A = this chain, B = another copy of it.
Amino acid sequence: MKLTILGCYSATPRTLNNTTSQVLEINNHMFLIDCGEGTQVQLRKHKIKFNRIKHIFISHLHGDHFFGLIGLISTFRLLTREADLHIYGPKGIKEVTIMQLKLADSWTNYNLIFHELTSDSSELVFEDEKVEVFTIPLNHRVYTNGFLFKEKEGDRKLNIGAVEDANINVAYYRKLTQGFDVVNEAGKTIKNESVTKAGLKPKSYAFCSDTMYKEDIVPIIKNVDVLYHESTFLEKHAHLGPKTKHSTAKEAATIAKLADVGTLLLGHYSTRYDNLNAFKDEAQEVFDHVELCEDGKTFDF
C-alpha cells in the first residue's frame, strides 16, 4: 500500500502549496482521492500514469478538493482515454461536470460513471475481489464523506510440506487457499488450519477530510493501519474549529487514539502556519505514531 500526497494544504493553491489530492495504490488499484485545482499537473510531476486511475473519490464540493476534477476529465479525453472512469462524490457532481462539458461542446470518449452519494451512514461504494471502499460520514459545512479503503482477507498460504504429507489431491489446493477443509486421497477430512497458514494481513487506509471533531467515526475506522485526519488548526486556534468545521492536530490525534490506528497522517494545514512541526508535536502529546503530510511525499505501508 503506497500513498502519494499530491497536495495537502487548505483553502487555495499557492506557488509552493497544493490543495488536497492523494493517490492510494492498493492491490493494483490507483485510487485518486480528492482533486484540487492543479491536480493533473501534480500527477504529471509525480509521474503517475493517468490510465491507471479508474476511480476518483471526492469528499466534498469545496474548491480545494474538487476544482481540478473537470480539467482532469477533459485531459483524459484529449489523451484519448478509453477506460471507464468512476467518480464517487456528493450529489450535484454529475450535473456540474456535465454542464461544463456541454458548455465546451465536449464529451468524453470513455464512459464517465458517476456514483452520487447522499447517505449520512457509512456505505459500501466500491468492491471487487480484493478491495472494499466505504464512506465515512464527516461533519463539515457541506455534505462530506471520508473514505475507508480496505483490503479483503487474502488467500491462505499452503504449507506445502504438510499438504503433501496429508496426501491431498492437487485439484483441492485452490479450495485450501480459500479456507475450506478438504477430503484427502484416503477419504479422510483434513482441517484447513492443519495444512495452511494465514495470508498477508490485509491493509486499510482511512481518509478523513474535511471535518470537525467527530467521535462517531471511531467505530468505522477502528484499527485501520493508516488514518489521514485533517488538522487545519493548532489548539491555539481551536475556537475556529466549530465555526469553520475543521479540526486541530490534537483532535485528530484524539480520534487516532480512540480508534487505535497504526499511524496518523496529518494534513490540510491552514496556510497561516509556517512551521508544520508544531502540528506533529501537538498531536504526539496524545498519540505516538504521527507523520506529517507534505506535497510530493510518499508513504509505503
A contact set with B: CB distance below 8 Å:
11-15, 37-38, 40-41, 44-45, 61-63, 66-68, 70-71, 74-75, 78, 90, 92-93, 95-96, 99-100, 103-106, 141-142
Contact = CB atoms under 8 A, between A and B. Distances in A.
Nearest to A47: B15
A171 to B, nearest CB: 52
A75 B12 contact: yes
Nearest to A101: B63
Contacts of A90: 103
A45 B96 contact: no
B61 A40 contact: no
Contacts of A92: 99, 103
B13 A40 contact: yes
A86 B195 CA distance: 74
A74 to B, nearest CB: 5
Contacts of A40: 12-13, 37
A74 B67 CA distance: 10
A100 B62 CA distance: 9
A41 B63 contact: no
A15 B37 contact: no
A299 to B, nearest CB: 23
Nearest to A62: B104
User: Which of A38, A40, A61, A104 has the largest number of chain B CB atoms within 10 A?
Assistant: A104
Contact of A38 (B13, B95, B100): B13
A126 to B, nearest CB: 23
B104 A63 contact: yes
A63 B38 CA distance: 13
Nearest to A18: B41
Contacts of A66: 104
B142 A74 contact: no
A36 to B, nearest CB: 9
A41 B42 CA distance: 13
A67 B63 contact: no
A11 B12 CA distance: 23
A100 to B, nearest CB: 6
26 contacts: A12-B74, A12-B78, A13-B38, A14-B41, A14-B44, A15-B44, A15-B45, A37-B68, A61-B103, A62-B106, A63-B70, A63-B74, A63-B100, A63-B104, A67-B71, A67-B74, A67-B100, A90-B103, A92-B99, A92-B103, A93-B103, A96-B96, A96-B100, A99-B99, A103-B142, A105-B141
Nearest to A17: B41
A178 B251 CA distance: 67
Nearest to A142: B105
Contacts of A14: 41, 44
